[in-house]
A = this chain, B = another copy of it.
């Protein structure tokens, strides 16, 4: 049985709708959170009267019953889905079945997330259902506040993350420099090789990841470039890893910066200022402080030291070109944000703190930890040296 979500019930009362409806595939974290079920393909989750009621394709029915948290599970064939597909096509048949499912539950109006598919919303409206978009992502707000169990899951993923970071660091340590380029075990050491070692380590730890970042030199300054090719001595190497535990589905997130050989004075200075910004962020984090205020404090540090930020220039590609952090949980980017518009922090919020400095064509440095907001401040979920990794 699914737990009741008083905050969601309150939201529905305020919105004046009968239920909260999600129609998404098993990758949608809001749906997984409410349903406890990750199907292949689309299914429907309805929250009404404190209950979670599922409507799933027949292929997913057995799993929905055994794995899901739904208080009840219906399946498409109970609503004559097959003939609806033939008459209306597959894209309309699911939403038409949904309207009958809603009618059965005495639902005339629903709140839906902003991501709710427009094709389904149009069909529901054509069948007289009032569809109201929840632009505030209420389920996302609920998800952002982690239970002890969820924090433990995130901690476990972060442990795997630290093991992977150690593997990357050891590869850089063990590498020899030949003509300015790193070599390991007789071959050029590339971003791809380091990434592969990280991936294998995480797999052994029960984690999966689509990608991770091992970006050296100029690539370190390109937001989200994963990094390619040989790693050069003296270049800062940004290693940013954000895997998901395959069992718990919770993410971790960590970044460190390494340099093989002697970094430029500029890189050392970047790191020093970044470290100061990082410390400032942590000192600022506590319940009642807004995510925006944390980010402002970080911008203050960078700007005081003469670096551009997105506050001084929304389009800058040099300086502090990101926000301070974001929530992490079932999504690698979720609420709350340590950024402009970021709301009040509360105990149980899990956020990254990831200041950095970048210069296009040159490179960048970043330091990222994952912390949980506590009653009195924060607890760092990350246990890894925070020095610039010069070796």
Q: Which residues of A contact B (CB under 8 A)?
A: 27, 39-41, 58-60, 62-63, 66, 75, 77-78, 81-82, 85-86, 89-92, 112-122, 131, 133, 135-137, 196, 199-200, 203-204, 208, 210-211, 222-225, 246, 310, 314-315, 317, 321-322, 333, 340-341, 360
Contact = CB atoms under 8 A, between A and B. Distances in A.
Contact of A118 (B81, B82, B114, B210): B114
Contact of A86 (B114, B115, B196, B341): B341
Contacts of A203: 196, 199-200, 203
A340 B84 CA distance: 11
A114 B117 contact: yes
Nearest to A322: B59
Contact of A333 (B27, B40, B118, B322): B40
A82 B114 contact: no
Given A81-B314, A118-B118, A222 B63 contact: yes
A91 B135 contact: yes
A126 to B, nearest CB: 11
A168 to B, nearest CB: 16
Nearest to A202: B203
A63 B314 contact: no
A210 B208 contact: yes
Given A63-B223, A208-B210, A340-B85, A117 B119 contact: no
B340 A223 contact: no
Contacts of A341: 85-86, 89-90
Contacts of A58: 310, 314-315
B92 A135 contact: yes
A133 B122 CA distance: 8
Contacts of A322: 59
A40 B199 CA distance: 19
A246 B211 contact: yes
